[in-house]
């Protein structure tokens, strides 16, 4: 496999995780089962996922001048991710408060802190790094102006821009511009609904495709994924891989990172979707976010789904 290069412009968080039997209702208190602290943030998770899936990876982002930031930087170093463009910020490392119930469902509140100070100036300073990418991978956890600037640099350099709109930015002209600059848009089901105002994924996928610069690839949890290549042809479904779910936190990040690594290596998109679905499924079998990302070897070892022609390519 050719080793492509993925540059992630995005967030790094420390995840404070409580496991509980079931998620509380609004205003209700439940007793938790255990507490743990893990590296996370959609940017960091996707960087680790892409790296473990076989890509060279560089990260552009911000951490605090604190012990949590030091620990995230150590992880980047241990994973072999270039952190030349990860800047320290006095605002403190981003925090995510995460509740995971026994069924695997989760709820997350993110406080961006240092991530909130990532702006176009820092992205401009990282221009040389961004221009080396085959794929530039973006999410919604850092200011939109930074993601938009990264997409502009990437497109001017001929890089593929993959945008995972998580969380979905508020509607504005910059979001429209970012969607238009995106070669791939990867929402999950609720993000697709928020972006398009419809809960019907095929309808929403076609609507979003009209606003994006390239295909829409929506993840649908245990129903797999839906690929809308252009607004004139029928959406193509891809089945999910069956695994025993422990924790779904980071599953979408595993999908986005592995998909980007696969595209960066020159893999045909249908096969890249199959590879990414396997990565997303495997991330659900382990607790945690960044540390739950599967290796390329594990992804390739996961048995293919039963239905033929679903894009899980033998050549991966
Ligand atoms: O996608 C999962 C991630 O969302 C967590 O790691 C948390 O940090 C939030 O960013």
Residue with the smallest CA separation from ligand 1 atom 9 is 41
Render each residue's pLDDT in the chain as its tens digit; 316 residues. Answer: 567 999 999 999 999 999 999 999 999 999 999 999 999 999 999 999 999 999 999 999 999 999 999 999 999 999 999 999 999 999 999 999 999 999 888 899 999 999 999 999 999 999 999 999 999 999 999 999 999 999 999 999 999 999 999 999 999 999 999 999 999 999 999 999 999 999 999 999 999 999 999 999 999 999 999 999 997 889 999 999 999 998 899 999 999 999 999 999 999 999 999 999 999 999 999 999 999 999 999 999 998 876 544 433 322 2
In total, the chain counts a number of residues equal to: 316
Q: Ligand 1 centroid vs 222 CA: distance in angstroms?
A: 19
The dihedrals phi and psi of 165, each to the nearest 5 degrees, come to: -80, 65
- Is the CB of 289 within 6 Å of ligand 1? yes
- CB of residue 96 inside a 6 A radius of ligand 1: yes
Q: Given the CA of residue 11, which atom of ligand 1 is nearest to it?
A: 10
Probe residue for ligand 1, chosen from 18, 37, 40, 111 as the CB with the greatest number of ligand atoms within 8 Å: 40
Q: Is the CB of 146 under 6 A from ligand 1?
A: no
**Token pair belonging to 150:** 């990264």
What confidence score (pLDDT) does residue 176 get? 98
For ligand 1, the distance from its centroid to the CA atom of residue 132, given in whole angstroms, is: 26
Name the DSSP class of 188: B
For ligand 1, whether the C-beta of 95 sits within 6 Å is no
CA of 64 to the centre of ligand 1 (A): 17
Q: Is 291 in the pocket of ligand 1 (CB under 6 A)?
A: no
CA torsion angle 136 9 278 301 (round to 10): 90
**Which element (helix H / strand E) includes 81?**
none
Q: Whose CA is nearest to atom 7 of ligand 1?
A: 41
Q: Give me the helices (H) in the chain, please.
A: 42-52, 67-79, 120-125, 127-131, 144-156, 173-181, 189-196, 201-209, 251-264, 269-283, 296-301
Query: What pLDDT is stored for residue 233 in this prediction?
Result: 83
Q: Is the beta carbon of 15 within 6 A of some atom in ligand 1?
A: yes
Q: What is the pLDDT of residue 305?
A: 76
Is 12 a pocket residue for ligand 1 (Cβ < 6 Å)?
no
pLDDT score of 311: 39
Residues with catalytic roles: 253
pTM of the complete model: 0.94
Catalogue all structural domains in the chain, each as residue range(s) with its CATH number: 5-23+33-301 (3.40.1190.20)
* Res 315: pLDDT: 28
Compute, in angstroms, the gap from residue 292 CA to the centroid of ligand 1. 12
């Amino acid at each position: 496999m050719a080793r492509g290069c993925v540059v992630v412009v995005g967030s790094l968080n420390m995840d404070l995780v409580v496991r509980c039997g079931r998620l509380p209702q609004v205003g209700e208190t439940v007793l938790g089962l255990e507490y743990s602290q893990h590296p996370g943030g959609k940017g960091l998770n996707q960087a680790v996922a892409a790296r473990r899936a076989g890509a060279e990876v560089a990260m552009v982002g911000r951490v605090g001048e604190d012990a949590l930031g030091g620990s995230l930087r150590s992880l980047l170093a241990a994973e072999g991710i270039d952190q030349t463009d990860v800047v320290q910020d006095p605002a403190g490392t981003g925090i995510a408060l995460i509740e995971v119930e026994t069924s695997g469902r989760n709820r997350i509140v993110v406080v961006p802190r240092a991530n909130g100070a990532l702006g176009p100036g820092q992205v401009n300073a990282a221009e040389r790094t961004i221009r080396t990418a085959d794929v530039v991978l973006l999410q919604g956890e850092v200011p939109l102006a930074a993601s938009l600037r990264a997409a502009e640099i990437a497109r001017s350099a001929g890089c593929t821009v993959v945008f995972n709109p998580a969380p979905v930015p508020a509607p504005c002209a910059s979001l429209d511009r970012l969607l238009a600059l995106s070669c791939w848009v990867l929402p999950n089901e609720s993000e697709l609904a928020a972006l398009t105002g419809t809960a019907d994924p095929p309808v929403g996928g076609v609507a979003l495709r009209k606003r994006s610069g390239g295909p829409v690839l929506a993840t649908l949890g245990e129903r797999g994924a839906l690929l809308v290549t252009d607004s004139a042809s029928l959406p193509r479904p891809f089945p999910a891989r069956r695994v025993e779910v422990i924790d779904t936190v980071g599953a979408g990040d595993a999908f986005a990172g592995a998909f980007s690594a696969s595209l960066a290596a020159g893999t045909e998109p249908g096969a890249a979707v199959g590879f990414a679905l396997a990565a997303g499924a495997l991330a659900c079998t382990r607790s945690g976010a960044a540390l739950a990302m599967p290796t390329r070897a594990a992804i390739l070892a996961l048995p293919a789904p039963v239905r033929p022609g679903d894009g899980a390519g033998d050549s991966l």
